[in-house]
Amino acid sequence: MNIQQLYTSCLAQGAYYISSEGEAAIIDPLRETQQYIDKANNDKAQIKYVFETHFHADFVSGHIDLARKTNSKIVYGPCAETDYPCHIAKDQEEFTIGKIKIKAIHTPGHTPESTTYLLIDENGNNHAIFTGDTLFIGDVGRPDLAIAKDITKEDLASKLYDSLRNKIMILEDNVIIYPAHGAGSACGKNMSDDTFSTLGEQKKSNYALREDMTKEEFIKELLEGMPPPPSYFKQNALLNKEGYNNFDEVLEKSNKALSIDEFKNNMISENSLILDVRTQKEFINKHIPNSLFIGLNGSFAPWVGTLIKDVHRPILLIVEKGMEEEAITRLSRVGCDNCIGYLEGGIKTWEKSGNPTASLESISANEFIETLKLNKINILDVRKVSEFETQHIEGSANYPLGEIQENISKINSKEKFHVHCAGGYRSVIAISILKANGFDNLIDIAGGFNEIKKTDLNENCYRSELATSN
């Protein structure tokens, strides 16, 4: 028996490869499927099943392409309805892979069709559960992502309580938990950095598995402080339910070097979005005016999904040489399949052709503090509300990056703003959005709040909402 967790950090997502005696299964695959085929080939195994724990909202799964390429069967749990052929498992139905079995355990709550897959080893022992978004390490899945309109988050939270206690917590304490996500995912609110654990350990440390917890307490604690889901989640869930474009065709169409003339023509004729995926340092130094920055070196796919509202909008890439396929692949993970191509030679080609460039003003945390000591300045904090409430600079305004497009009208474009996030990635994204909307006087604070805290700023200048509210 071979179990491999294939973890993708930028999505905080875990897919799984399982094999036994020449047969294999994949659980919750990513959009790009060749990696799973290669693993099976190396194992001299045939992929027999592609198990989906639910209709994923935060990424587009590779289940359809993988099943087509390997002649394997897609399996969803009870209540799932798809627009493509698949096997809808019954609760407690077993699937054989070599000498092991996978049992489908219907665990509704995160979504109505959410299913946990129990791996039973060669000796008939319960070995591991692949919980999808039902149970995370340190947390459970949010109950507000169902595609169905006739069920509330309270209804699903109630079902999740029952699923956890009647289907999962009854298993042995030594059973290993393999979730679909870890810290950084928006599918939960308190996930651990750990990507696996045991059921016994989670019973001790996970708030949602507290033995004496009532259903009412569970629902209250689960829903309290839960931010709204990113806007792209519904689109991705529908793509996973209804089907999507073949990834190989998307890659072939999009991985195209464009001359400067082709690039500019597409800018005009297609109303394309120029997406710059280089590092924030490179973008700060020089970029095409009004382009959107989302660097590949950060949480690229989630921010693409959050900030590019129309997944069908044509995209033109400014990308470092050699990273073109990577950028296109990561765009496709959140359903952005309409990339026209990339500018051959990148920003250098743009500049050499006599086209104007723009840059951002960026200062160190120490320079920012010296300015703050001498003057009253406007500070724009683009971290999440929870980060801001934990600690922030007195007098700063909080407009989280994920909501900044909706709040642009509330920010005075005629004022100068010093902009920061936690580490310097989100602030550059925010500035690129604001500049494209007519803001001219913005200064980035390099390294963000993490660097600010290292300076000699008087502690009295910091404010913690949590500290003052108690």
CATH assignment of the domain containing 433: 3.40.250.10
Residue 87 domain-assigned? yes
Is residue 120's pLDDT more than 80?
A: yes
Per-residue pLDDT band for 148 (boundaries 50, 70, 90) equals confident
Q: Can you give the pLDDT at residue 434?
A: 97
| First CA to last CA distance, the chain | 53
| 87-92, long-range: CB < 8 A, 24+ apart | 89/115
CB 319, CB 278: distance < 8 Å: yes
Query: Once rounded to an integer, what is the mean pLDDT over residues 410-439?
Result: 96
User: Residue 58 is encoded by which pair of tokens?
Assistant: 């935060």
Residue 121 domain-assigned? yes
Same domain, 148 and 205: yes
Residue 291 domain-assigned? yes
In the listed set 183, 217, 235, which residue is the last one of a domain according to the structure?
Answer: 235
Taking each helix axis from N to C terminus, what angle separates 324-332 and 300-307, rounded to the nearest 10 degrees? 60
Is residue 361's pLDDT more than 50?
A: yes
Full domain range(s) for residue 74: 2-235
Q: How far apart are alpha carbons 429 and 432 in whole angstroms?
A: 5
Same domain, 310 and 410: no
Is residue 462's pLDDT more than 80?
A: no
Same domain, 277 and 148: no
Reported in sequence order, the residue ranges of 54-158 that DSSP labels E, i.e. its strands, are: 73-76, 87-88, 94-97, 100-106, 115-120, 126-132
Residue 26 domain-assigned? yes
Residue 118 domain-assigned? yes
Q: How far is CA 336 from CA 144, 221, 312, 314, in A?
A: 23, 34, 7, 9
Is residue 16's pLDDT more than 80?
A: yes
Query: Once rounded to an integer, what is the mean pLDDT over residues 370-374?
Result: 88
CATH number of 231's domain = 3.60.15.10
Same domain, 318 and 389: no
Residue 197 domain-assigned? yes
Look-up: residue for tokens 């294999």?
Answer: 24
Residue 388 domain-assigned? yes
Q: Can you give the pLDDT at residue 467?
A: 37
User: Residue 196 is encoded by which pair of tokens?
Assistant: 């696996």
Per-residue pLDDT band for 465 (boundaries 50, 70, 90) equals low
At 257-301, the pLDDT tens digits run 999 999 999 998 778 999 999 999 999 999 999 999 999 999 999
> Percent of the chain beyond pLDDT 90?
86
At 171-230, the pLDDT tens digits run 999 999 999 999 888 888 778 889 999 999 999 999 999 999 999 999 999 999 888 888
CB 402, CB 426: distance < 8 Å: no
Same domain, 314 and 426: no
Per-residue pLDDT band for 341 (boundaries 50, 70, 90) equals very high
Same domain, 300 and 371: no
| 20-23, long-range: CB < 8 A, 24+ apart | 20/97, 20/98, 20/99, 20/100, 20/122, 21/98, 21/99, 22/46, 22/98, 23/48, 23/96, 23/97, 23/98
Taking each helix axis from N to C terminus, what angle separates 300-307 and 426-436, rounded to the nearest 10 degrees? 30
Q: How far apart are alpha carbons 401 and 420 in whole angstroms?
A: 10
Residue 240 domain-assigned? no
Q: How far apart are alpha carbons 317 and 275 in whole angstroms?
A: 5
**Paired sense of beta strands 339-343 and 315-318, if any:** parallel
Same domain, 281 and 384: no
**Paired sense of beta strands 397-398 and 417-420, if any:** unpaired
Same domain, 397 and 274: no
Q: Tell me which DSSP letter residue 89 carries.
A: P
Same domain, 198 and 128: yes
Same domain, 225 and 140: yes
Region label for 180, one of left (φ > 0), alpha (ψ between -120 and 50) or beta (otherwise): alpha
Is residue 470's pLDDT more than 60?
A: no
Same domain, 225 and 347: no
At 59-110, the pLDDT tens digits run 999 999 999 999 999 999 999 999 999 999 999 999 999 999 999 999 999 9
CB 333, CB 11: distance < 8 Å: yes
Taking each helix axis from N to C terminus, what angle separates 324-332 and 247-254, rounded to the nearest 10 degrees? 140
Q: Can you give the pLDDT at residue 459?
A: 66
Find residue 198's DSSP bridge partners: 176
Q: Can you give the pLDDT at residue 430?
A: 98
In the listed set 300, 326, 352, which residue is the last one of a domain according to the structure?
Answer: 352
Same domain, 207 and 273: no
Overall number of domains in the chain = 3
In the listed set 297, 331, 352, which residue is the last one of a domain according to the structure?
Answer: 352
Q: Can you give the pLDDT at residue 229?
A: 86
HSE at residue 358, side-chain half, CA atoms within 13 A, is 15
